Structure 1
Amino acid sequence: MTAPIAKPWLFSQPDQDPRTATGRTLRWGIIATGGIANSVSKDLALLADAEIHAVSSRTQGAADAFAAQFGIPHAFGDDDGASGYQRLLAHESVDVVYVATPHANHFQITLAALNAGKHVLVEKAFTINAREAAELIALARSRNLFLMEAVWSRFLPSMQRAFEISASGELGQVQWVNADLGFPAEYSPTARLWAVKDGGGALLDLSVYPLLWALGTLGFPQTVSATGSVNDDGVDAQNALTLGYHHGAQAQLTSSLLAHGPRAATVAGSRGYLHTIGSINNPRELTVKIGFEAPRMEHFDVVGRGYSYELREVTRCIQQGLTESPVMPLDDSLNVMRLFDGVRAQLGVTYPNDAH
């Protein structure tokens, strides 16, 4: 499907406290005021060299309430002439924006942000499809602006350690990976998780996390086989992906909006295996067992809610004049969207954005 990724996806300074300043203070704009924006903003406030300078929402009341909660000096809602995010992007003092809207809005808002000369961190999934992703990446590169998809788990100490163990050879040659993530989400055709217009479904919202375990240990696959349950609205309620590799390795990944699962990942090699304890998007313990030896447990704490690590990476990269993260390069985001396009074709899932 694609060339293997460069492995491992590791920080050069994995033990650095993400709260510690690495350069000049950046002024952030937060676009949207939902749950993920709230959680990320709490961690952003922990960084010594970050200032939340502005926030936007569809209503002025929501923007004002969010601004009051975080002590943000500028709040923008929709008015007769412009949307809240357009008003925020017109604010010259904002250096970088975090786009926390539903998936289907990522392309339009990120496009506007890049055209306004802002660096951008955009929530996962990066876009609805690979066509949108390629256009944003080309624009960011042409304008010499930083752009990154907010796959926060990729930066966590536990994930970094798991990738390090896998790459070290301690497990031998990795032969298979198994990972799942799911929960029963209450159905509503207008809820973000289920709405076709928002890019709802298990694939774009959840599958990035099980996929992360396969990509971080085996790289991008050569084959992808997908099955799933698609509801009457055309949204995938759950899916199962089987990834195949030229050297014979394979990965089985499950994502579900219908059922609770163990939320666990296992990486199995010719010498031993690694297993997670705690949800796979933020595991707090790793079990490593080599052959018939006694298992070794490694425990991990996180700063804040865990988003601080990706926020430190964005901040550091912009301070150093980088236009993309070496830990989360743009080509990886593009290749994931290509993979998801292929999965959706197999499942029969389409979104309004696909027709644009």
Structure 2
Amino acid sequence: MRRGLKISLVTLTGAALTLSASACGGKKAETGGGGDDKKTLKVGLAFDIGGRGDQSFNDSAAAGLDRVKKDLNIQTEEISAKPDEPDADKESRLRLLATKGYNPIIGVGFAYTNSINKVAKAFPNTKFLVVDADQCKVEGTNVLGACFSEEQGSFLVGAAAALKSKTGTIGFIGGVNVPLIHKFQAGYEAGAKAAKPGIKVLPAKYLTEPPNFDGFKNPALGTEAAKGQLDKNADVIYHAAGGAGIGVINTVGAAKKLAIGVDSDQYNLPAVAPVKEQILTSMVKRVDLSVFDFVESVSKGTFQAGTKKYDLSNDGVGYATSGGKVDDIKAKLDQFKADIVSGKIKVPTK
């Protein structure tokens, strides 16, 4: 069930979400203080296209925000992006959050990178996080970029796909043809060939080309792409297509073939419930952890600007075991993981 939360920028002006993140009492510190034990935090989060309810990338960020509320006892505000909006709209949204005292502020998705780099300069006392920082680069002493080694997690699910394929042919469907998604494709293909050198990996199918980002949110596009790869004898298909991937999973599952989810463990999603037993695994990307880690660091006064990498070594990426379909190959997958962490295997990103 989709429940994308869209809050107009006007409604934010009346929000008064203030709760001390400190265990002890004391006077309220100025907004943006990073090293004070006594301060008030109001966390603002701007979602990527699809918003809360996309059952993939954004929902992983939402899970991190929910954990912030529960474990840190900090109140939050969230807003959604509009389809195909210009950077100027993202900047306006971020500036309004900052002006209203939201600190820290989180932009979910690489598309926020340039906007946060600009806005952060105007609000030096406010801490910002870019989830999936573009090319893993951010600017400013008050900006953190969370970067993920998607290729490493994709290597493991690629190995699983090859080991489980009965036809010897597997497929990959990317949402939008951008460098970030190329990392998923590269890792998947490398993992498949490492596990079974003779495996046939169909040419990758990308749903849209930028600036059209429907490939991350339109399930109908995923449905058509999946049909095309099934017709070419693929019996395991991995999607890196956000909300559009729901169409991939349902189509592959209905054909009694195996699908691989992305970003979150997609096995228990309501939208794919009828075909859940056809989900082989999911490449898990701990966007939730990056959101929580960032807010916690600001609340504790330990924030450090720059970039933070989430990979196999710190379980920032990985694979899901729900459904039990990889239980019999788990030892092999974990050996691949160990070899990647040790540096024995170098996973390509292109």
Alignment TM-score, normalising by the size of structure 2: 0.38
Q: Which has the higher helix share?
A: 2
Q: Which has the higher strand share?
A: 1
